[in-house]
Amino acid sequence: MVKARIPAPRRSLLLGASALLGTSALLAGCAAQGSPSAAGDAAHRSVAPSASTTGAAGGSSSVAARPTPGEGGESPASPTRSTPAPSASGTSASAAPSASPYASPSAAPSATRTAAPVRPSPSGTPGTAAPSTHAPATGVLRHTASGGRTVALTFDDGPGPATGRVLDLLAQYGAKATFCEIGDNAKTHPAAVRRILAEGHRLCDHTVDHPQPMHTQSHEQQVAEIGDAKADIEKAAGNAPEITWWRAPGGDFTAENERIGADLGMKSLGWTVDPRDWSRPGVQAIVSNVQQNLRPGGVVLMHDGGGDRSQTVAALEQLLPWLVSQGYAFDFPQS
Protein backbone atom coordinates (compact mmCIF):
# COMPACT_ATOMS: atom_id res chain seq x y z
CA MET A 1 0.00 0.00 0.00
CA VAL A 2 1.08 3.35 -0.73
CA LYS A 3 1.69 5.95 1.73
CA ALA A 4 0.01 9.20 1.61
CA ARG A 5 1.84 12.00 0.06
CA ILE A 6 3.44 14.62 2.03
CA PRO A 7 2.68 17.78 0.29
CA ALA A 8 3.70 20.68 2.26
CA PRO A 9 7.03 20.14 3.82
CA ARG A 10 8.92 19.06 0.83
CA ARG A 11 9.91 22.36 -0.59
CA SER A 12 10.94 23.82 2.63
CA LEU A 13 12.88 20.75 3.50
CA LEU A 14 14.64 20.93 0.23
CA LEU A 15 15.47 24.50 0.80
CA GLY A 16 16.83 23.61 4.13
CA ALA A 17 18.94 20.95 2.61
CA SER A 18 20.09 23.37 0.05
CA ALA A 19 21.29 25.68 2.68
CA LEU A 20 23.16 22.93 4.37
CA LEU A 21 24.68 21.39 1.37
CA GLY A 22 25.23 24.39 -0.68
CA THR A 23 23.12 25.17 -3.61
CA SER A 24 25.54 23.85 -6.06
CA ALA A 25 25.43 20.47 -4.53
CA LEU A 26 21.77 20.25 -5.12
CA LEU A 27 21.73 21.80 -8.48
CA ALA A 28 24.54 19.74 -9.60
CA GLY A 29 22.33 17.33 -11.22
CA CYS A 30 23.09 13.75 -11.12
CA ALA A 31 26.36 14.11 -9.47
CA ALA A 32 27.46 10.87 -8.26
CA GLN A 33 27.20 9.89 -4.76
CA GLY A 34 29.80 7.69 -3.46
CA SER A 35 27.86 4.73 -2.61
CA PRO A 36 25.88 2.91 -3.32
CA SER A 37 25.16 4.24 -6.61
CA ALA A 38 26.98 5.92 -9.05
CA ALA A 39 25.04 7.82 -11.10
CA GLY A 40 25.08 7.58 -14.62
CA ASP A 41 21.82 9.05 -14.99
CA ALA A 42 21.60 12.45 -15.48
CA ALA A 43 23.69 14.97 -15.78
CA HIS A 44 25.89 15.62 -13.82
CA ARG A 45 28.86 13.98 -13.02
CA SER A 46 32.05 15.18 -14.23
CA VAL A 47 33.50 12.98 -16.73
CA ALA A 48 34.82 9.90 -15.19
CA PRO A 49 35.95 7.41 -17.64
CA SER A 50 35.84 3.99 -16.64
CA ALA A 51 34.97 0.59 -16.80
CA SER A 52 32.35 -1.17 -18.54
CA THR A 53 28.80 -0.48 -18.19
CA THR A 54 27.42 -3.83 -18.70
CA GLY A 55 27.39 -5.98 -15.71
CA ALA A 56 26.58 -3.04 -13.65
CA ALA A 57 24.89 -5.28 -11.26
CA GLY A 58 28.06 -6.21 -9.67
CA GLY A 59 29.66 -3.07 -10.65
CA SER A 60 32.31 -1.17 -9.07
CA SER A 61 31.51 1.72 -7.02
CA SER A 62 31.86 4.96 -8.55
CA VAL A 63 33.51 7.93 -7.61
CA ALA A 64 31.84 10.83 -6.18
CA ALA A 65 32.02 13.25 -8.89
CA ARG A 66 31.86 16.87 -8.68
CA PRO A 67 29.00 18.45 -10.36
CA THR A 68 29.51 20.05 -13.59
CA PRO A 69 27.91 23.35 -13.26
CA GLY A 70 26.33 24.65 -16.28
CA GLU A 71 26.69 21.39 -17.94
CA GLY A 72 23.52 20.33 -19.35
CA GLY A 73 22.18 20.15 -16.10
CA GLU A 74 19.41 18.17 -15.37
CA SER A 75 18.22 20.43 -12.84
CA PRO A 76 14.71 19.88 -13.78
CA ALA A 77 13.52 23.06 -12.34
CA SER A 78 15.81 24.99 -14.53
CA PRO A 79 13.94 27.29 -16.79
CA THR A 80 16.59 27.13 -19.38
CA ARG A 81 15.81 24.30 -21.50
CA SER A 82 17.08 24.28 -24.91
CA THR A 83 15.28 23.36 -27.95
CA PRO A 84 15.89 20.03 -29.40
CA ALA A 85 17.49 21.07 -32.58
CA PRO A 86 18.04 17.74 -34.19
CA SER A 87 21.54 18.16 -35.22
CA ALA A 88 23.27 15.50 -37.06
CA SER A 89 26.88 15.91 -36.80
CA GLY A 90 28.88 13.90 -34.46
CA THR A 91 31.89 15.35 -33.00
CA SER A 92 33.84 13.48 -30.53
CA ALA A 93 35.04 10.16 -31.54
CA SER A 94 35.84 9.09 -28.12
CA ALA A 95 33.93 6.17 -26.98
CA ALA A 96 35.02 5.70 -23.50
CA PRO A 97 32.66 3.46 -21.75
CA SER A 98 30.91 5.08 -18.98
CA ALA A 99 31.05 4.45 -15.39
CA SER A 100 29.33 1.61 -13.92
CA PRO A 101 26.16 3.02 -12.66
CA TYR A 102 25.77 1.18 -9.49
CA ALA A 103 27.75 -0.16 -6.77
CA SER A 104 25.30 -2.49 -5.43
CA PRO A 105 26.93 -5.70 -4.72
CA SER A 106 24.59 -7.99 -6.35
CA ALA A 107 21.16 -8.27 -7.60
CA ALA A 108 19.62 -10.49 -5.10
CA PRO A 109 16.28 -8.93 -4.76
CA SER A 110 15.15 -10.71 -1.74
CA ALA A 111 17.79 -9.81 0.69
CA THR A 112 16.77 -6.38 1.56
CA ARG A 113 13.52 -6.15 3.09
CA THR A 114 14.12 -8.18 6.08
CA ALA A 115 16.24 -6.98 8.80
CA ALA A 116 15.37 -3.40 9.03
CA PRO A 117 13.75 -1.84 11.96
CA VAL A 118 10.32 -0.63 11.34
CA ARG A 119 10.03 3.04 11.24
CA PRO A 120 6.68 4.62 10.89
CA SER A 121 6.20 6.16 7.58
CA PRO A 122 5.43 9.78 7.47
CA SER A 123 1.86 9.11 6.78
CA GLY A 124 1.67 6.89 9.72
CA THR A 125 1.08 3.81 7.73
CA PRO A 126 2.64 0.98 9.57
CA GLY A 127 4.91 -1.55 8.13
CA THR A 128 7.43 0.51 6.31
CA ALA A 129 10.75 -0.92 7.05
CA ALA A 130 13.40 1.67 6.85
CA PRO A 131 16.77 0.16 6.48
CA SER A 132 19.74 2.17 7.36
CA THR A 133 20.12 5.04 5.05
CA HIS A 134 23.21 3.97 3.28
CA ALA A 135 22.59 0.31 2.97
CA PRO A 136 22.80 -0.62 -0.66
CA ALA A 137 19.79 -1.45 -2.67
CA THR A 138 19.70 -5.01 -3.77
CA GLY A 139 16.71 -5.18 -6.03
CA VAL A 140 17.69 -2.83 -8.81
CA LEU A 141 16.50 -4.15 -12.14
CA ARG A 142 18.93 -4.06 -15.01
CA HIS A 143 17.56 -6.36 -17.62
CA THR A 144 14.85 -6.48 -20.21
CA ALA A 145 11.64 -8.30 -19.53
CA SER A 146 12.04 -10.85 -22.26
CA GLY A 147 15.74 -11.45 -22.37
CA GLY A 148 17.25 -12.78 -25.52
CA ARG A 149 18.30 -10.30 -28.12
CA THR A 150 16.32 -7.42 -26.73
CA VAL A 151 17.11 -3.96 -25.51
CA ALA A 152 15.22 -1.63 -23.23
CA LEU A 153 15.68 2.01 -24.09
CA THR A 154 15.07 4.37 -21.20
CA PHE A 155 14.88 8.15 -21.31
CA ASP A 156 15.23 10.24 -18.19
CA ASP A 157 14.42 13.68 -16.92
CA GLY A 158 11.64 14.60 -19.27
CA PRO A 159 9.25 15.32 -20.57
CA GLY A 160 11.08 18.18 -22.19
CA PRO A 161 11.48 19.85 -25.51
CA ALA A 162 13.27 16.86 -26.99
CA THR A 163 10.60 14.37 -26.05
CA GLY A 164 8.55 14.87 -29.17
CA ARG A 165 11.50 14.23 -31.45
CA VAL A 166 12.48 11.15 -29.49
CA LEU A 167 8.94 9.86 -29.82
CA ASP A 168 8.95 10.55 -33.56
CA LEU A 169 12.11 8.51 -33.96
CA LEU A 170 10.87 5.65 -31.83
CA ALA A 171 7.70 5.53 -33.90
CA GLN A 172 9.68 5.52 -37.10
CA TYR A 173 11.44 2.34 -36.01
CA GLY A 174 8.56 0.74 -34.18
CA ALA A 175 10.55 0.96 -30.98
CA LYS A 176 9.08 1.06 -27.51
CA ALA A 177 10.81 2.75 -24.64
CA THR A 178 10.43 3.67 -21.02
CA PHE A 179 10.39 7.28 -19.90
CA CYS A 180 11.56 8.07 -16.39
CA GLU A 181 9.88 11.35 -15.77
CA ILE A 182 10.40 14.19 -13.40
CA GLY A 183 7.14 14.96 -11.63
CA ASP A 184 7.49 18.68 -12.13
CA ASN A 185 8.08 18.16 -15.85
CA ALA A 186 5.10 15.87 -16.15
CA LYS A 187 2.99 18.62 -14.69
CA THR A 188 4.42 21.09 -17.16
CA HIS A 189 4.09 18.85 -20.20
CA PRO A 190 1.03 16.68 -19.65
CA ALA A 191 0.42 16.34 -23.38
CA ALA A 192 3.81 14.72 -23.77
CA VAL A 193 3.00 12.28 -21.00
CA ARG A 194 -0.21 11.33 -22.72
CA ARG A 195 1.50 10.95 -26.06
CA ILE A 196 4.11 8.65 -24.55
CA LEU A 197 1.38 6.38 -23.28
CA ALA A 198 -0.75 6.64 -26.38
CA GLU A 199 2.17 5.43 -28.46
CA GLY A 200 2.70 2.37 -26.37
CA HIS A 201 5.62 3.42 -24.23
CA ARG A 202 5.79 3.14 -20.51
CA LEU A 203 6.42 5.47 -17.64
CA CYS A 204 8.79 5.43 -14.73
CA ASP A 205 8.90 7.73 -11.72
CA HIS A 206 12.07 9.79 -11.52
CA THR A 207 11.16 11.92 -8.48
CA VAL A 208 9.53 15.29 -8.27
CA ASP A 209 12.54 17.46 -8.88
CA HIS A 210 15.58 15.27 -9.07
CA PRO A 211 17.24 15.81 -5.70
CA GLN A 212 20.82 14.85 -5.41
CA PRO A 213 22.23 13.14 -3.66
CA MET A 214 19.03 11.40 -2.87
CA HIS A 215 20.28 9.16 -0.14
CA THR A 216 21.16 12.08 2.11
CA GLN A 217 17.61 13.29 2.16
CA SER A 218 15.43 12.45 5.07
CA HIS A 219 13.15 9.50 4.86
CA GLU A 220 10.19 11.84 4.64
CA GLN A 221 11.74 13.82 1.84
CA GLN A 222 12.41 10.69 -0.14
CA VAL A 223 8.87 9.47 0.39
CA ALA A 224 7.59 12.79 -0.90
CA GLU A 225 9.95 12.86 -3.87
CA ILE A 226 8.97 9.43 -5.04
CA GLY A 227 5.32 9.43 -4.04
CA ASP A 228 4.47 12.91 -5.24
CA ALA A 229 6.16 12.32 -8.57
CA LYS A 230 4.11 9.21 -9.08
CA ALA A 231 0.97 11.18 -8.37
CA ASP A 232 2.11 14.01 -10.66
CA ILE A 233 2.76 11.62 -13.51
CA GLU A 234 -0.52 9.81 -13.01
CA LYS A 235 -2.39 13.07 -12.97
CA ALA A 236 -0.67 14.30 -16.12
CA ALA A 237 -1.46 11.02 -17.84
CA GLY A 238 -5.03 11.29 -16.80
CA ASN A 239 -5.83 7.65 -17.07
CA ALA A 240 -4.10 6.10 -14.12
CA PRO A 241 -1.34 4.39 -16.02
CA GLU A 242 0.58 1.69 -14.37
CA ILE A 243 3.91 3.01 -13.24
CA THR A 244 5.96 -0.06 -12.71
CA TRP A 245 9.33 1.44 -11.92
CA TRP A 246 11.01 4.32 -10.30
CA ARG A 247 14.57 5.45 -10.85
CA ALA A 248 16.62 7.38 -8.31
CA PRO A 249 18.34 10.49 -9.59
CA GLY A 250 21.86 9.54 -10.44
CA GLY A 251 21.00 5.94 -9.77
CA ASP A 252 21.30 6.73 -6.08
CA PHE A 253 19.40 3.71 -4.90
CA THR A 254 19.61 2.60 -1.33
CA ALA A 255 17.82 -0.05 0.61
CA GLU A 256 15.80 2.74 2.15
CA ASN A 257 14.54 4.41 -0.98
CA GLU A 258 14.13 1.10 -2.71
CA ARG A 259 11.75 0.19 0.05
CA ILE A 260 9.88 3.45 -0.35
CA GLY A 261 9.46 2.74 -4.04
CA ALA A 262 8.32 -0.79 -3.29
CA ASP A 263 5.73 0.49 -0.86
CA LEU A 264 4.44 2.64 -3.69
CA GLY A 265 4.25 -0.38 -5.93
CA MET A 266 7.36 0.31 -7.98
CA LYS A 267 10.56 -1.54 -8.67
CA SER A 268 13.93 0.16 -8.84
CA LEU A 269 15.05 0.55 -12.41
CA GLY A 270 18.72 0.70 -13.18
CA TRP A 271 20.59 0.39 -16.44
CA THR A 272 23.52 -1.40 -17.97
CA VAL A 273 24.66 1.09 -20.57
CA ASP A 274 25.22 4.74 -19.82
CA PRO A 275 26.55 6.66 -22.79
CA ARG A 276 26.61 9.82 -20.72
CA ASP A 277 24.56 11.65 -23.26
CA TRP A 278 23.72 14.27 -20.67
CA SER A 279 27.32 15.43 -20.76
CA ARG A 280 27.09 16.04 -24.48
CA PRO A 281 30.22 14.10 -25.33
CA GLY A 282 29.49 14.23 -29.04
CA VAL A 283 27.07 12.26 -31.09
CA GLN A 284 29.57 9.64 -32.13
CA ALA A 285 30.72 9.15 -28.57
CA ILE A 286 27.17 8.39 -27.55
CA VAL A 287 26.62 6.06 -30.46
CA SER A 288 29.90 4.22 -29.98
CA ASN A 289 29.38 3.82 -26.28
CA VAL A 290 26.08 2.09 -26.78
CA GLN A 291 27.37 -0.02 -29.63
CA GLN A 292 30.34 -1.19 -27.62
CA ASN A 293 28.64 -1.79 -24.32
CA LEU A 294 25.22 -3.08 -25.10
CA ARG A 295 24.66 -6.77 -24.57
CA PRO A 296 21.46 -8.64 -25.21
CA GLY A 297 18.94 -7.91 -22.49
CA GLY A 298 20.58 -4.60 -21.67
CA VAL A 299 19.00 -1.39 -20.47
CA VAL A 300 20.25 1.80 -22.07
CA LEU A 301 20.09 5.10 -20.23
CA MET A 302 19.60 8.26 -22.22
CA HIS A 303 17.88 11.56 -21.60
CA ASP A 304 15.02 13.39 -23.21
CA GLY A 305 15.09 16.16 -20.63
CA GLY A 306 17.43 18.10 -18.44
CA GLY A 307 19.05 20.30 -21.02
CA ASP A 308 20.01 20.42 -24.64
CA ARG A 309 19.40 16.92 -25.90
CA SER A 310 20.20 17.48 -29.54
CA GLN A 311 23.15 15.09 -29.35
CA THR A 312 20.94 12.44 -27.86
CA VAL A 313 18.42 12.86 -30.63
CA ALA A 314 21.12 12.71 -33.28
CA ALA A 315 22.62 9.64 -31.65
CA LEU A 316 19.24 7.99 -31.57
CA GLU A 317 18.90 8.59 -35.29
CA GLN A 318 21.91 6.32 -35.71
CA LEU A 319 21.30 3.89 -32.89
CA LEU A 320 17.78 2.91 -33.80
CA PRO A 321 18.64 1.61 -37.27
CA TRP A 322 21.78 0.04 -35.87
CA LEU A 323 19.81 -1.83 -33.23
CA VAL A 324 17.41 -3.07 -35.86
CA SER A 325 20.27 -4.14 -38.10
CA GLN A 326 21.81 -6.02 -35.20
CA GLY A 327 18.66 -7.98 -34.68
CA TYR A 328 17.62 -6.33 -31.44
CA ALA A 329 13.97 -6.25 -30.50
CA PHE A 330 12.77 -3.41 -28.35
CA ASP A 331 11.49 -4.41 -24.98
CA PHE A 332 10.56 -2.97 -21.62
CA PRO A 333 12.61 -3.54 -18.52
CA GLN A 334 11.89 -6.49 -16.33
CA SER A 335 9.40 -5.83 -13.64
Instruction: List active site positions.
Output: 156, 303
Min dist CB 45 to Zn ion, Å, is 11
- Whose CA is closest to 50, among 103, 107, 89? 103
Q: Is 156 in the site for Zn ion (CB under 5 A)?
A: yes
The helix or strand, by DSSP H or E, that contains position 303, with its residue range, turns out to be: strand 298-303
Q: Which stretch binds Zn ion (CB under 5 A): 145-153, 156-164, 258-266, 307-315?
A: 156-164
Give least dist CB 278 to Zn ion, A.
Answer: 8
Whether the CB-CB separation of 165 and 310 falls below 8 Å is answered with: no
Radius of gyration of the chain (CA): 18
- One DSSP character per residue, 193-244 reads HHHHHHTT-EEEE--SS--SSGGGS-HHHHHHHHHHHHHHHHHHHSS---EE
**Nearest distance in Å: CB 156, Zn ion:** 4
State yes or no: residue 252 binds Zn ion (CB under 5 A).
Answer: no
| Residue 205 interacting with Zn ion (CB under 5 A) | no
Q: Can you tell me which of 157, 232, 258, 277 binds Zn ion, judged by CB under 5 A?
A: 157
* 42 touching Zn ion, by CB under 5 A: yes
Beta bridge partners, 152, equal 299
Residue 9 identity (one-letter amino acid): P
In whole angstroms, the minimum distance from the beta carbon of 203 to Zn ion comes to: 14
| Whether 232 contacts 207, CB under 8 Å | no
Question: Which residue has the closest beta carbon to Zn ion?
Answer: 42
71 belongs to the binding site for Zn ion (CB under 5 A): no
- When binding is defined by CB under 5 A, the residue of 32, 35, 37, 41 that contacts Zn ion is 41
Residue 43 to residue 68: CA distance in whole angstroms: 8
**Minimum distance of Zn ion from residue 243's CB (angstroms):** 16
Q: Which stretch binds Zn ion (CB under 5 A): 58-66, 77-85, 148-156, 162-170?
A: 148-156
Assign residue 228 a region (left: φ > 0; alpha: ψ between -120 and 50; beta: otherwise).
Answer: alpha
Give the nearer residue to Zn ion in terms of CB position, either 156 or 317.
156
For Zn ion, the binding residues (CB under 5 A) are 41-42, 156-157, 249
